Amino acid sequence: QVQLVESGGGLVQAGGSLRLSCAASGSITSFAAMGWYRQAPGKQREWVGTFTNGGMYYADSIKGRFTISKDNAKNTMYLQMNNLKAEDTAVYYCHARFLPRAYWGQGTQVTVSA
């Protein structure tokens, strides 16, 4: 059983930055993929970005503003969010694929004020 715990959300003004963390209970090097999703009020969950052994992949809506990184020693993945916009307001979820299952964190709220 894999547990994922997000942190780092909060309230920020437009143009500001936040860094989200996702701490995993196991070694993230054993995951087939790990990434971030978000869900805004009244909308479906949206893919933000993923890293696999093949590289990093990002949604067009955040490309150039958000960066995923990881610290294998801490079993932690990060999402650095810069130049935040009001439309980035959402609950952000960490996701990991540890075959054959997929796991989700509980989410962390990010609110960007205009």
Task: Work out the burial of residue 16: count CB atoms within 10 Å of its CB; fewer than 13 is exposed, 13-18 middle, 19 or more buried.
Answer: middle
Question: For residue 35, what pLDDT is reported?
Answer: 97
pLDDT band at 76 (very low <50, low <70, confident <90, very high): very high
pLDDT band at 33 (very low <50, low <70, confident <90, very high): very high
Cα distance between residue 91 and residue 43, in whole Å:
11
Amino acid at 101: R
Of 24-28, 59-63, 81-85, 86-90, the one with minimum mean pLDDT is 24-28
Query: Is residue 74 classed as helix, strand or coil in its secondary structure?
Result: helix
Cα distance between residue 33 and residue 57, in whole Å:
11
Question: For residue 58, what pLDDT is reported?
Answer: 97
